[in-house]
Chains A and B, each alone.
Chain A
Protein backbone atom coordinates (compact mmCIF):
# COMPACT_ATOMS: atom_id res chain seq x y z
CA UNK A 1 0.00 0.00 0.00
CA UNK A 2 2.80 2.32 1.00
CA UNK A 3 4.72 1.41 -2.16
CA UNK A 4 1.76 2.12 -4.42
CA UNK A 5 1.51 5.58 -2.82
CA UNK A 6 5.23 6.18 -3.33
CA UNK A 7 5.02 5.06 -6.94
CA UNK A 8 2.03 7.36 -7.56
CA UNK A 9 3.91 10.26 -5.99
CA UNK A 10 7.05 9.58 -8.02
CA UNK A 11 4.95 9.31 -11.18
CA UNK A 12 3.17 12.58 -10.50
CA UNK A 13 6.51 14.33 -9.93
CA UNK A 14 8.39 12.82 -12.90
CA UNK A 15 5.74 12.58 -15.60
CA UNK A 16 4.05 16.00 -15.84
CA UNK A 17 7.05 17.82 -17.34
CA UNK A 18 6.88 15.46 -20.30
CA UNK A 19 3.53 16.76 -21.49
CA UNK A 20 2.38 19.69 -19.32
CA UNK A 21 2.65 23.30 -20.51
CA UNK A 22 5.06 25.89 -19.12
CA UNK A 23 2.42 27.37 -16.82
CA UNK A 24 1.94 24.09 -14.96
CA UNK A 25 5.65 23.33 -14.86
CA UNK A 26 6.28 26.72 -13.27
CA UNK A 27 3.48 26.11 -10.81
CA UNK A 28 5.03 22.75 -9.92
CA UNK A 29 8.41 24.45 -9.29
CA UNK A 30 6.75 26.95 -6.98
CA UNK A 31 5.03 24.11 -5.11
CA UNK A 32 8.39 22.37 -4.61
CA UNK A 33 9.89 25.56 -3.15
CA UNK A 34 6.91 26.10 -0.86
CA UNK A 35 7.15 22.44 0.18
CA UNK A 36 10.81 22.74 1.24
CA UNK A 37 9.92 25.86 3.20
CA UNK A 38 6.93 24.26 4.93
CA UNK A 39 8.91 21.09 5.71
CA UNK A 40 11.63 23.16 7.38
CA UNK A 41 9.04 25.03 9.46
CA UNK A 42 7.47 21.71 10.38
CA UNK A 43 10.71 20.62 12.06
CA UNK A 44 10.01 23.37 14.58
CA UNK A 45 6.22 23.25 14.76
CA UNK A 46 5.49 19.57 14.35
CA UNK A 47 8.51 17.76 15.73
CA UNK A 48 9.82 20.35 18.17
CA UNK A 49 6.56 21.82 19.47
CA UNK A 50 7.93 25.33 18.82
CA UNK A 51 5.38 27.37 16.91
CA UNK A 52 7.29 30.05 15.05
CA UNK A 53 5.54 32.95 13.36
CA UNK A 54 8.76 34.32 11.94
CA UNK A 55 9.98 31.63 9.59
CA UNK A 56 9.78 33.98 6.59
CA UNK A 57 12.89 35.63 8.08
CA UNK A 58 15.05 32.79 6.79
CA UNK A 59 13.45 32.61 3.37
CA UNK A 60 13.62 36.38 2.97
CA UNK A 61 17.14 36.91 4.31
CA UNK A 62 18.49 33.96 2.30
CA UNK A 63 16.93 35.42 -0.83
CA UNK A 64 18.05 38.99 -0.09
CA UNK A 65 21.67 38.05 0.60
CA UNK A 66 21.96 36.15 -2.68
CA UNK A 67 20.11 38.89 -4.61
CA UNK A 68 22.25 41.71 -3.25
CA UNK A 69 25.57 39.87 -3.58
CA UNK A 70 24.99 38.88 -7.20
CA UNK A 71 23.38 42.11 -8.41
CA UNK A 72 25.29 44.74 -6.42
CA UNK A 73 28.62 43.36 -5.45
CA UNK A 74 29.45 41.26 -8.47
CA UNK A 75 29.64 37.89 -6.71
CA UNK A 76 29.28 34.69 -8.69
CA UNK A 77 26.28 32.48 -7.96
CA UNK A 78 28.29 29.78 -6.24
CA UNK A 79 29.95 32.09 -3.71
CA UNK A 80 26.72 34.05 -3.21
CA UNK A 81 24.78 30.85 -2.52
CA UNK A 82 27.32 29.69 0.05
CA UNK A 83 27.44 33.07 1.77
CA UNK A 84 23.67 33.31 1.73
CA UNK A 85 23.19 29.89 3.33
CA UNK A 86 25.96 30.57 5.86
CA UNK A 87 24.54 33.99 6.72
CA UNK A 88 21.01 32.68 7.11
CA UNK A 89 22.18 29.81 9.30
CA UNK A 90 24.23 32.17 11.46
CA UNK A 91 21.19 34.41 11.84
CA UNK A 92 19.11 31.38 12.86
CA UNK A 93 21.77 30.52 15.45
CA UNK A 94 21.54 34.04 16.89
CA UNK A 95 17.73 34.30 16.73
CA UNK A 96 17.49 30.85 18.27
CA UNK A 97 19.47 31.97 21.30
CA UNK A 98 17.04 34.87 21.78
CA UNK A 99 13.75 33.14 21.02
CA UNK A 100 14.51 30.00 23.00
CA UNK A 101 14.77 31.97 26.20
CA UNK A 102 10.99 31.60 26.12
CA UNK A 103 8.68 28.78 25.16
CA UNK A 104 5.10 28.50 23.94
CA UNK A 105 3.42 31.84 23.34
CA UNK A 106 6.51 33.81 24.40
CA UNK A 107 8.52 31.99 21.73
CA UNK A 108 5.83 32.75 19.15
CA UNK A 109 5.75 36.43 20.04
CA UNK A 110 9.54 36.82 19.97
CA UNK A 111 9.87 35.10 16.58
CA UNK A 112 7.07 37.32 15.25
CA UNK A 113 8.69 40.49 16.63
CA UNK A 114 12.12 39.55 15.22
CA UNK A 115 10.73 38.87 11.76
CA UNK A 116 8.72 42.09 11.80
CA UNK A 117 11.91 43.99 12.60
CA UNK A 118 13.58 42.43 9.55
CA UNK A 119 10.55 43.25 7.42
CA UNK A 120 10.73 46.88 8.60
CA UNK A 121 14.45 46.97 7.86
CA UNK A 122 13.94 45.67 4.32
CA UNK A 123 11.48 48.52 3.76
CA UNK A 124 13.40 51.30 5.49
CA UNK A 125 17.04 50.60 4.56
CA UNK A 126 16.28 51.55 1.00
CA UNK A 127 19.88 52.38 0.09
CA UNK A 128 20.78 48.73 0.67
CA UNK A 129 17.60 46.79 -0.09
CA UNK A 130 16.01 49.22 -2.54
CA UNK A 131 13.00 49.41 -0.20
CA UNK A 132 9.53 49.02 -1.64
CA UNK A 133 10.86 48.66 -5.20
CA UNK A 134 12.53 45.38 -4.34
CA UNK A 135 15.64 44.02 -6.02
CA UNK A 136 14.97 43.26 -9.68
CA UNK A 137 16.96 42.15 -12.70
CA UNK A 138 18.43 39.03 -11.09
CA UNK A 139 19.69 35.96 -12.91
CA UNK A 140 19.44 32.22 -12.33
CA UNK A 141 22.62 30.25 -11.76
CA UNK A 142 23.94 27.70 -14.24
CA UNK A 143 25.24 24.75 -12.17
CA UNK A 144 27.78 22.66 -14.15
CA UNK A 145 27.13 24.88 -17.14
CA UNK A 146 23.46 23.89 -17.40
CA UNK A 147 21.28 26.97 -17.74
CA UNK A 148 18.19 26.99 -15.51
CA UNK A 149 16.37 29.64 -17.50
CA UNK A 150 13.82 27.35 -19.10
CA UNK A 151 10.87 26.26 -16.91
CA UNK A 152 11.63 22.58 -17.39
CA UNK A 153 15.30 22.76 -16.40
CA UNK A 154 14.40 24.79 -13.34
CA UNK A 155 11.78 22.20 -12.43
CA UNK A 156 14.34 19.38 -12.47
CA UNK A 157 16.73 21.50 -10.40
CA UNK A 158 14.02 22.26 -7.83
CA UNK A 159 12.95 18.62 -7.78
CA UNK A 160 16.49 17.44 -7.06
CA UNK A 161 16.94 20.00 -4.25
CA UNK A 162 13.49 19.23 -2.80
CA UNK A 163 14.11 15.47 -2.83
CA UNK A 164 17.47 15.96 -1.15
CA UNK A 165 15.87 18.27 1.44
CA UNK A 166 13.08 15.79 2.15
CA UNK A 167 15.57 12.92 2.58
CA UNK A 168 17.81 15.00 4.85
CA UNK A 169 14.89 16.09 6.99
CA UNK A 170 13.51 12.54 7.13
CA UNK A 171 16.91 11.32 8.33
CA UNK A 172 17.03 14.13 10.89
CA UNK A 173 13.61 13.28 12.25
CA UNK A 174 14.01 9.51 12.36
CA UNK A 175 17.49 9.59 13.87
CA UNK A 176 18.20 9.19 17.55
CA UNK A 177 18.40 12.96 17.72
CA UNK A 178 14.93 13.21 16.18
CA UNK A 179 13.59 10.90 18.89
CA UNK A 180 15.10 13.05 21.60
CA UNK A 181 13.54 16.10 19.90
CA UNK A 182 10.10 14.50 20.09
CA UNK A 183 10.84 13.57 23.68
CA UNK A 184 11.66 17.19 24.49
CA UNK A 185 8.48 18.30 22.75
CA UNK A 186 6.28 15.99 24.82
CA UNK A 187 8.09 15.69 28.15
CA UNK A 188 10.81 18.33 28.55
CA UNK A 189 11.21 17.79 32.29
CA UNK A 190 11.56 14.03 32.03
CA UNK A 191 14.06 14.45 29.23
CA UNK A 192 16.06 16.87 31.36
CA UNK A 193 15.94 14.40 34.23
CA UNK A 194 17.28 11.69 31.88
CA UNK A 195 20.32 13.86 31.25
CA UNK A 196 19.36 15.40 27.89
CA UNK A 197 19.77 19.11 27.37
CA UNK A 198 16.35 20.30 26.08
CA UNK A 199 17.62 23.77 25.25
CA UNK A 200 20.45 22.48 23.09
CA UNK A 201 18.19 20.00 21.29
CA UNK A 202 15.71 22.78 20.51
CA UNK A 203 18.45 25.17 19.44
CA UNK A 204 20.06 22.69 17.04
CA UNK A 205 16.64 22.04 15.50
CA UNK A 206 16.04 25.78 15.23
CA UNK A 207 19.32 26.29 13.38
CA UNK A 208 18.69 23.29 11.11
CA UNK A 209 15.21 24.60 10.24
CA UNK A 210 16.73 28.03 9.54
CA UNK A 211 19.27 26.40 7.23
CA UNK A 212 16.56 24.75 5.11
CA UNK A 213 14.53 27.96 5.22
CA UNK A 214 17.56 29.67 3.67
CA UNK A 215 17.76 26.97 0.97
CA UNK A 216 14.09 27.57 0.17
CA UNK A 217 14.88 31.31 0.00
CA UNK A 218 17.65 30.70 -2.53
CA UNK A 219 15.36 28.67 -4.76
CA UNK A 220 12.67 31.32 -4.30
CA UNK A 221 14.89 34.14 -5.50
CA UNK A 222 16.25 32.00 -8.39
CA UNK A 223 12.74 31.24 -9.50
CA UNK A 224 11.30 34.77 -9.29
CA UNK A 225 14.51 36.64 -10.23
CA UNK A 226 13.10 39.33 -7.96
CA UNK A 227 12.77 39.92 -4.22
CA UNK A 228 10.48 42.29 -2.33
CA UNK A 229 9.99 42.99 1.42
CA UNK A 230 6.63 41.14 1.36
CA UNK A 231 8.64 37.90 1.32
CA UNK A 232 9.63 38.78 4.89
CA UNK A 233 6.11 39.73 6.00
CA UNK A 234 3.90 38.00 8.53
CA UNK A 235 1.68 36.95 5.63
CA UNK A 236 4.57 34.96 4.20
CA UNK A 237 5.26 33.27 7.56
CA UNK A 238 1.56 32.66 8.05
CA UNK A 239 1.12 31.01 4.63
CA UNK A 240 3.84 28.51 5.49
CA UNK A 241 2.39 27.88 8.94
CA UNK A 242 -1.04 27.36 7.40
CA UNK A 243 0.49 24.82 5.01
CA UNK A 244 2.06 22.97 7.94
CA UNK A 245 -1.11 22.92 10.01
CA UNK A 246 -3.45 22.21 7.11
CA UNK A 247 -1.28 19.33 5.96
CA UNK A 248 -0.83 17.97 9.46
CA UNK A 249 2.06 19.12 11.60
CA UNK A 250 4.37 16.42 12.85
CA UNK A 251 3.86 14.19 9.81
CA UNK A 252 6.66 14.07 7.30
CA UNK A 253 4.74 14.50 4.04
CA UNK A 254 1.72 16.43 5.30
CA UNK A 255 3.22 19.93 5.25
CA UNK A 256 4.30 19.44 1.62
CA UNK A 257 0.70 18.64 0.70
CA UNK A 258 -0.55 21.57 2.78
CA UNK A 259 1.93 23.95 1.19
CA UNK A 260 0.87 22.76 -2.27
CA UNK A 261 -2.79 23.37 -1.41
CA UNK A 262 -2.10 26.88 -0.05
CA UNK A 263 -0.06 27.76 -3.14
CA UNK A 264 -2.67 26.40 -5.57
CA UNK A 265 -5.40 28.26 -3.72
CA UNK A 266 -3.36 31.46 -3.79
CA UNK A 267 -2.63 31.18 -7.52
CA UNK A 268 -6.18 30.23 -8.38
CA UNK A 269 -7.73 33.00 -6.28
CA UNK A 270 -5.29 35.69 -7.39
CA UNK A 271 -6.31 35.04 -10.97
CA UNK A 272 -9.90 36.03 -10.19
CA UNK A 273 -9.89 38.49 -7.31
CA UNK A 274 -7.54 40.53 -5.16
CA UNK A 275 -8.74 39.40 -1.77
CA UNK A 276 -6.06 36.78 -1.05
CA UNK A 277 -5.33 38.03 2.50
CA UNK A 278 -8.98 37.84 3.46
CA UNK A 279 -9.28 34.33 2.10
CA UNK A 280 -6.07 33.34 3.90
CA UNK A 281 -7.62 34.56 7.14
CA UNK A 282 -10.85 32.68 6.50
CA UNK A 283 -8.99 29.48 5.67
CA UNK A 284 -7.05 29.88 8.93
CA UNK A 285 -10.33 30.10 10.86
CA UNK A 286 -11.77 27.14 8.97
CA UNK A 287 -8.75 24.85 9.43
CA UNK A 288 -8.34 25.64 13.13
CA UNK A 289 -12.04 25.29 13.92
CA UNK A 290 -12.93 22.34 11.66
CA UNK A 291 -9.75 20.35 10.92
CA UNK A 292 -7.34 21.07 13.76
CA UNK A 293 -5.24 17.96 13.09
CA UNK A 294 -4.82 18.74 9.40
CA UNK A 295 -5.93 17.24 6.12
CA UNK A 296 -3.47 14.35 5.75
CA UNK A 297 -4.08 12.80 9.20
CA UNK A 298 -7.79 13.48 8.75
CA UNK A 299 -7.94 11.68 5.41
CA UNK A 300 -5.74 8.78 6.53
CA UNK A 301 -7.97 8.32 9.59
CA UNK A 302 -10.95 8.27 7.24
CA UNK A 303 -9.39 5.61 4.97
CA UNK A 304 -8.47 3.39 7.93
CA UNK A 305 -12.03 3.63 9.14
CA UNK A 306 -13.35 2.74 5.68
CA UNK A 307 -11.01 -0.25 5.38
CA UNK A 308 -11.99 -1.38 8.85
CA UNK A 309 -15.63 -1.20 7.71
CA UNK A 310 -15.00 -3.49 4.74
CA UNK A 311 -13.41 -6.16 6.91
Chain B
Protein backbone atom coordinates (compact mmCIF):
# COMPACT_ATOMS: atom_id res chain seq x y z
CA UNK B 1 0.00 0.00 0.00
CA UNK B 2 2.77 2.38 0.97
CA UNK B 3 4.57 1.54 -2.28
CA UNK B 4 1.56 2.48 -4.39
CA UNK B 5 0.92 5.77 -2.61
CA UNK B 6 4.55 6.89 -2.60
CA UNK B 7 5.06 5.91 -6.25
CA UNK B 8 1.72 7.50 -7.11
CA UNK B 9 2.88 10.80 -5.62
CA UNK B 10 6.24 10.41 -7.38
CA UNK B 11 4.51 9.95 -10.70
CA UNK B 12 2.43 13.07 -10.09
CA UNK B 13 5.56 15.11 -9.46
CA UNK B 14 7.29 13.70 -12.54
CA UNK B 15 4.13 14.48 -14.51
CA UNK B 16 4.29 18.07 -13.27
CA UNK B 17 7.89 18.33 -14.35
CA UNK B 18 7.09 16.88 -17.77
CA UNK B 19 4.33 19.41 -18.25
CA UNK B 20 6.74 22.28 -17.56
CA UNK B 21 8.99 20.74 -20.20
CA UNK B 22 6.46 19.86 -22.88
CA UNK B 23 3.92 22.70 -22.68
CA UNK B 24 6.37 25.10 -24.34
CA UNK B 25 7.19 22.55 -27.03
CA UNK B 26 3.51 22.05 -27.74
CA UNK B 27 2.82 25.79 -27.77
CA UNK B 28 5.62 26.43 -30.27
CA UNK B 29 4.54 23.55 -32.48
CA UNK B 30 0.91 24.65 -32.40
CA UNK B 31 1.58 28.14 -33.73
CA UNK B 32 4.75 27.78 -35.74
CA UNK B 33 4.47 24.19 -37.03
CA UNK B 34 8.03 23.82 -35.83
CA UNK B 35 9.39 20.79 -34.00
CA UNK B 36 11.78 22.67 -31.73
CA UNK B 37 14.54 20.13 -31.06
CA UNK B 38 16.42 22.74 -29.01
CA UNK B 39 13.80 22.36 -26.29
CA UNK B 40 15.74 19.83 -24.22
CA UNK B 41 18.79 22.10 -24.41
CA UNK B 42 16.72 25.10 -23.21
CA UNK B 43 15.58 23.00 -20.24
CA UNK B 44 19.17 22.01 -19.49
CA UNK B 45 20.35 25.64 -19.70
CA UNK B 46 17.81 26.47 -16.98
CA UNK B 47 19.09 23.68 -14.74
CA UNK B 48 22.74 24.72 -15.11
CA UNK B 49 21.76 28.34 -14.52
CA UNK B 50 20.12 27.29 -11.24
CA UNK B 51 23.08 25.13 -10.25
CA UNK B 52 25.50 28.03 -10.63
CA UNK B 53 23.26 30.78 -9.24
CA UNK B 54 22.01 28.91 -6.19
CA UNK B 55 25.40 27.55 -5.23
CA UNK B 56 27.03 30.95 -5.60
CA UNK B 57 24.39 32.83 -3.56
CA UNK B 58 23.35 30.64 -0.63
CA UNK B 59 20.05 32.28 0.21
CA UNK B 60 18.84 32.76 -3.36
CA UNK B 61 15.15 31.97 -3.65
CA UNK B 62 14.29 29.23 -6.16
CA UNK B 63 11.33 31.20 -7.52
CA UNK B 64 13.52 34.21 -8.25
CA UNK B 65 16.05 31.88 -9.89
CA UNK B 66 13.32 30.30 -12.01
CA UNK B 67 12.12 33.72 -13.11
CA UNK B 68 15.66 34.84 -13.91
CA UNK B 69 16.46 31.65 -15.83
CA UNK B 70 13.13 31.88 -17.66
CA UNK B 71 13.92 35.40 -18.83
CA UNK B 72 17.51 34.53 -19.76
CA UNK B 73 16.54 31.43 -21.75
CA UNK B 74 13.64 33.31 -23.37
CA UNK B 75 16.17 35.91 -24.51
CA UNK B 76 18.43 33.22 -26.01
CA UNK B 77 15.41 31.69 -27.73
CA UNK B 78 14.23 35.06 -29.01
CA UNK B 79 17.62 35.87 -30.52
CA UNK B 80 17.76 32.45 -32.17
CA UNK B 81 14.25 32.88 -33.59
CA UNK B 82 14.93 36.38 -34.93
CA UNK B 83 18.41 35.74 -36.30
CA UNK B 84 18.02 32.23 -37.71
CA UNK B 85 14.51 30.80 -37.81
CA UNK B 86 12.89 33.78 -39.54
CA UNK B 87 15.31 33.35 -42.46
CA UNK B 88 13.93 29.87 -43.04
CA UNK B 89 10.22 30.66 -43.13
CA UNK B 90 9.68 28.81 -46.40
CA UNK B 91 11.73 25.80 -45.35
CA UNK B 92 10.15 23.88 -42.44
CA UNK B 93 12.66 21.02 -42.73
CA UNK B 94 15.54 23.48 -42.61
CA UNK B 95 14.06 24.97 -39.45
CA UNK B 96 14.05 21.60 -37.70
CA UNK B 97 17.63 20.89 -38.76
CA UNK B 98 18.73 24.27 -37.48
CA UNK B 99 17.10 23.67 -34.09
CA UNK B 100 18.92 20.33 -33.98
CA UNK B 101 22.22 22.06 -34.77
CA UNK B 102 21.50 24.64 -32.10
CA UNK B 103 20.87 21.90 -29.53
CA UNK B 104 24.31 20.41 -30.26
CA UNK B 105 25.91 23.83 -29.87
CA UNK B 106 24.19 24.54 -26.54
CA UNK B 107 24.88 21.13 -25.03
CA UNK B 108 28.53 21.24 -26.05
CA UNK B 109 28.85 24.78 -24.70
CA UNK B 110 27.39 23.60 -21.37
CA UNK B 111 29.92 20.77 -21.30
CA UNK B 112 32.66 23.31 -21.96
CA UNK B 113 31.58 25.74 -19.21
CA UNK B 114 30.35 23.37 -16.52
CA UNK B 115 32.46 20.25 -17.15
CA UNK B 116 31.39 16.63 -17.23
CA UNK B 117 30.44 16.10 -13.58
CA UNK B 118 26.87 16.32 -12.43
CA UNK B 119 26.13 19.38 -10.29
CA UNK B 120 23.34 19.06 -7.70
CA UNK B 121 20.83 21.89 -7.35
CA UNK B 122 19.94 22.49 -3.68
CA UNK B 123 16.34 22.03 -2.56
CA UNK B 124 14.98 25.28 -1.09
CA UNK B 125 15.53 25.14 2.73
CA UNK B 126 11.93 25.91 3.66
CA UNK B 127 10.71 22.99 1.51
CA UNK B 128 13.26 20.46 2.72
CA UNK B 129 11.21 18.99 5.55
CA UNK B 130 8.92 16.17 4.45
CA UNK B 131 5.14 16.40 4.49
CA UNK B 132 2.81 13.69 5.79
CA UNK B 133 0.31 12.56 3.14
CA UNK B 134 -2.26 9.93 4.19
CA UNK B 135 0.09 9.08 7.03
CA UNK B 136 3.12 8.63 4.74
CA UNK B 137 6.08 10.98 4.69
CA UNK B 138 6.80 12.52 1.32
CA UNK B 139 9.25 15.22 0.13
CA UNK B 140 7.42 18.56 0.20
CA UNK B 141 9.27 19.91 -2.79
CA UNK B 142 7.84 17.25 -5.10
CA UNK B 143 4.31 18.20 -4.10
CA UNK B 144 5.08 21.86 -4.72
CA UNK B 145 6.24 20.90 -8.22
CA UNK B 146 2.78 19.50 -9.02
CA UNK B 147 1.31 22.81 -7.82
CA UNK B 148 3.70 24.67 -10.15
CA UNK B 149 2.57 22.63 -13.12
CA UNK B 150 -1.10 23.22 -12.32
CA UNK B 151 -0.46 26.95 -11.85
CA UNK B 152 1.43 27.13 -15.18
CA UNK B 153 -1.34 25.22 -16.94
CA UNK B 154 -3.98 27.57 -15.52
CA UNK B 155 -2.01 30.68 -16.48
CA UNK B 156 -1.41 29.39 -20.01
CA UNK B 157 -5.08 28.48 -20.32
CA UNK B 158 -6.14 32.00 -19.37
CA UNK B 159 -3.50 33.54 -21.60
CA UNK B 160 -4.64 31.59 -24.63
CA UNK B 161 -8.40 31.41 -24.07
CA UNK B 162 -9.20 34.65 -22.28
CA UNK B 163 -6.86 37.40 -23.48
CA UNK B 164 -6.61 39.41 -26.67
CA UNK B 165 -3.07 38.12 -27.22
CA UNK B 166 -4.35 34.57 -26.86
CA UNK B 167 -7.09 35.24 -29.38
CA UNK B 168 -4.46 36.43 -31.85
CA UNK B 169 -2.36 33.31 -31.20
CA UNK B 170 -5.41 31.10 -31.77
CA UNK B 171 -6.16 32.95 -34.98
CA UNK B 172 -2.58 32.36 -36.12
CA UNK B 173 -2.85 28.66 -35.29
CA UNK B 174 -6.09 28.25 -37.22
CA UNK B 175 -5.28 30.21 -40.34
CA UNK B 176 -1.99 32.00 -40.59
CA UNK B 177 -2.66 33.80 -43.87
CA UNK B 178 -6.10 35.01 -42.87
CA UNK B 179 -4.71 36.24 -39.55
CA UNK B 180 -2.07 38.22 -41.44
CA UNK B 181 -4.72 39.62 -43.76
CA UNK B 182 -6.74 41.04 -40.88
CA UNK B 183 -3.68 42.78 -39.51
CA UNK B 184 -2.36 40.42 -36.83
CA UNK B 185 1.45 40.72 -36.69
CA UNK B 186 2.02 36.98 -37.07
CA UNK B 187 5.80 37.29 -37.37
CA UNK B 188 6.04 39.10 -34.01
CA UNK B 189 3.67 36.55 -32.49
CA UNK B 190 6.06 33.80 -33.60
CA UNK B 191 8.94 35.43 -31.77
CA UNK B 192 6.80 36.01 -28.69
CA UNK B 193 5.53 32.44 -28.58
CA UNK B 194 9.01 31.06 -29.16
CA UNK B 195 10.34 33.19 -26.27
CA UNK B 196 7.46 32.09 -24.06
CA UNK B 197 7.98 28.40 -24.87
CA UNK B 198 11.75 28.64 -24.35
CA UNK B 199 11.23 30.61 -21.13
CA UNK B 200 8.87 27.99 -19.66
CA UNK B 201 11.42 25.29 -20.52
CA UNK B 202 14.19 27.31 -18.83
CA UNK B 203 12.14 27.92 -15.68
CA UNK B 204 11.09 24.27 -15.73
CA UNK B 205 14.74 23.33 -15.83
CA UNK B 206 15.34 25.33 -12.64
CA UNK B 207 12.37 23.78 -10.85
CA UNK B 208 13.37 20.29 -11.97
CA UNK B 209 16.95 20.90 -10.81
CA UNK B 210 16.60 19.72 -7.18
CA UNK B 211 15.22 16.39 -8.44
CA UNK B 212 17.33 15.81 -11.54
CA UNK B 213 20.52 17.86 -10.89
CA UNK B 214 22.46 19.32 -13.81
CA UNK B 215 24.54 16.89 -15.88
CA UNK B 216 25.73 16.58 -19.48
CA UNK B 217 23.17 14.63 -21.49
CA UNK B 218 20.21 16.00 -19.53
CA UNK B 219 18.95 17.52 -22.78
CA UNK B 220 19.12 14.17 -24.59
CA UNK B 221 17.24 12.56 -21.68
CA UNK B 222 14.49 15.18 -21.61
CA UNK B 223 13.86 15.73 -25.32
CA UNK B 224 12.49 12.22 -26.03
CA UNK B 225 10.22 12.52 -22.98
CA UNK B 226 8.85 15.78 -24.38
CA UNK B 227 8.40 14.20 -27.80
CA UNK B 228 6.59 11.19 -26.36
CA UNK B 229 4.31 13.42 -24.25
CA UNK B 230 3.26 15.57 -27.18
CA UNK B 231 2.91 12.65 -29.61
CA UNK B 232 0.70 10.99 -27.00
CA UNK B 233 -1.31 14.06 -26.03
CA UNK B 234 -1.65 15.53 -29.49
CA UNK B 235 0.85 17.96 -30.97
CA UNK B 236 -0.09 21.57 -30.29
CA UNK B 237 -2.76 20.84 -27.69
CA UNK B 238 -2.24 22.30 -24.21
CA UNK B 239 -4.74 19.92 -22.61
CA UNK B 240 -3.06 17.05 -24.44
CA UNK B 241 0.34 18.08 -23.07
CA UNK B 242 -1.14 18.26 -19.55
CA UNK B 243 -2.86 14.86 -19.62
CA UNK B 244 0.01 13.30 -21.59
CA UNK B 245 2.55 14.50 -19.02
CA UNK B 246 0.75 12.82 -16.16
CA UNK B 247 0.16 9.61 -18.12
CA UNK B 248 3.86 9.39 -18.98
CA UNK B 249 4.76 10.38 -15.41
CA UNK B 250 2.73 7.47 -14.05
CA UNK B 251 3.97 4.95 -16.61
CA UNK B 252 7.61 5.93 -16.26
CA UNK B 253 7.60 5.98 -12.44
CA UNK B 254 5.84 2.66 -12.00
CA UNK B 255 7.78 1.17 -14.91
CA UNK B 256 11.11 2.11 -13.34
CA UNK B 257 10.01 0.88 -9.90
CA UNK B 258 8.59 -2.45 -11.05
CA UNK B 259 10.74 -3.34 -14.10
CA UNK B 260 13.81 -1.10 -13.87
CA UNK B 261 15.50 -2.38 -17.02
CA UNK B 262 12.42 -2.27 -19.20
CA UNK B 263 11.27 1.24 -18.24
CA UNK B 264 12.21 2.56 -21.67
CA UNK B 265 10.21 -0.09 -23.50
CA UNK B 266 7.21 0.46 -21.26
CA UNK B 267 7.45 4.17 -21.99
CA UNK B 268 7.24 3.45 -25.64
CA UNK B 269 4.18 1.19 -25.57
CA UNK B 270 1.53 3.88 -24.97
CA UNK B 271 3.08 5.89 -27.78
CA UNK B 272 2.77 2.99 -30.23
CA UNK B 273 -0.75 2.35 -29.06
CA UNK B 274 -1.83 5.95 -29.61
CA UNK B 275 -0.07 6.22 -32.97
CA UNK B 276 -1.73 3.03 -34.14
CA UNK B 277 -5.29 3.93 -33.13
CA UNK B 278 -5.28 7.71 -32.97
CA UNK B 279 -2.37 9.11 -34.98
CA UNK B 280 -3.26 12.72 -34.20
CA UNK B 281 -2.82 12.05 -30.46
CA UNK B 282 -5.37 11.90 -27.66
CA UNK B 283 -6.40 15.56 -27.88
CA UNK B 284 -4.96 16.53 -31.24
CA UNK B 285 -7.16 17.83 -34.00
CA UNK B 286 -7.25 16.09 -37.36
CA UNK B 287 -5.25 17.92 -39.97
CA UNK B 288 -2.64 19.47 -37.72
Contacts and interface: CB of A to CB of B under 8 A. Distances in A.
Interface majority SS (helix, strand, loop, mixed), chain A = helix
6 closest A-B pairs by beta carbon, nearest first, are A284-B101, A281-B104, A116-B224, A281-B105, A278-B108, A277-B108
Contacts of A117: 224, 264-265, 267-268
Given A51-B93, A117-B265, A117-B268, A102 B279 contact: yes
B103 interface: yes
B25 to A, nearest CB: 10
A108 B100 CA distance: 12
Contacts of A241: 97
B64 interface: no
A23 to B, nearest CB: 27
Contacts of A108: 35, 96
Interface string A245-278: 1000000000000000000000000000001011
B13 interface: no
B276 interface: yes
B35 A102 contact: no
Interface in B262-285: 263-265, 267-268, 271-272, 275-276, 279
B102 interface: yes
Interface in B215-268: 220-221, 223-224, 227-228, 230-231, 235, 260-261, 263-265, 267-268
B93 to A, nearest CB: 6
Given A117-B268, A120-B221, A281-B101, 12 more contacts: A98-B275, A104-B92, A105-B96, A112-B227, A113-B224, A117-B264, A277-B105, A281-B100, A281-B103, A281-B108, A283-B101, A289-B94
Select the residue from B109, B220, B264 with max chain A CB neighbours within 10 A.
B264
29 contacts: A98-B272, A98-B276, A101-B276, A102-B275, A104-B92, A105-B33, A105-B35, A106-B235, A109-B230, A109-B231, A110-B275, A113-B228, A116-B223, A116-B224, A245-B97, A277-B104, A277-B105, A278-B112, A281-B101, A281-B103, A282-B105, A284-B97, A284-B104, A285-B98, A285-B105, A288-B94, A289-B84, A289-B94, A292-B94
A98 B275 CA distance: 7
Contacts of A238: 100, 104
A284 B100 contact: yes
A235 interface: yes
A109 B230 CA distance: 10
Contacts of A245: 97
A53 interface: yes
A241 B98 CA distance: 12
Interface string A83-127: 000000000000000100110111011101110110111001101
A119 to B, nearest CB: 8
A113 B271 contact: yes
A124 B266 CA distance: 13
B259 to A, nearest CB: 11
Contacts of B29: 105
B22 interface: no
Contacts of B264: 117, 120-121, 124
A235 B103 CA distance: 10
Select the residue from A53, A101, A109, A275 with max chain B CB neighbours within 10 A.
A109
Contacts of B228: 113
B107 interface: yes
A69 interface: no
Contacts of A166: none
A278 B88 contact: no
B112 to A, nearest CB: 7
Given A105-B33, A245-B97, A114 B275 contact: no
Given A102-B279, A110-B275, A117-B268, A124 B263 contact: yes
B91 interface: yes
A160 B272 CA distance: 39
Given A101-B279, A108-B35, A234 B227 contact: no
Contacts of A277: 104-105, 107-108, 111
A118 to B, nearest CB: 8
A116 B105 CA distance: 19
Contact of B108 (A98, A114, A275, A288): A275
A248 to B, nearest CB: 14
A57 interface: no
Nearest to A123: B264
Given A102-B279, A125-B261, A53 B100 contact: yes
Select the residue from A112, A233, A281 with max chain B CB neighbours within 10 A.
A281
A27 interface: no
A191 interface: no
B98 A288 contact: yes
Nearest to B220: A234
B87 interface: yes
Contacts of A119: 220
Interface in B139-154: none
A280 interface: yes
B104 A280 contact: yes
B130 to A, nearest CB: 29
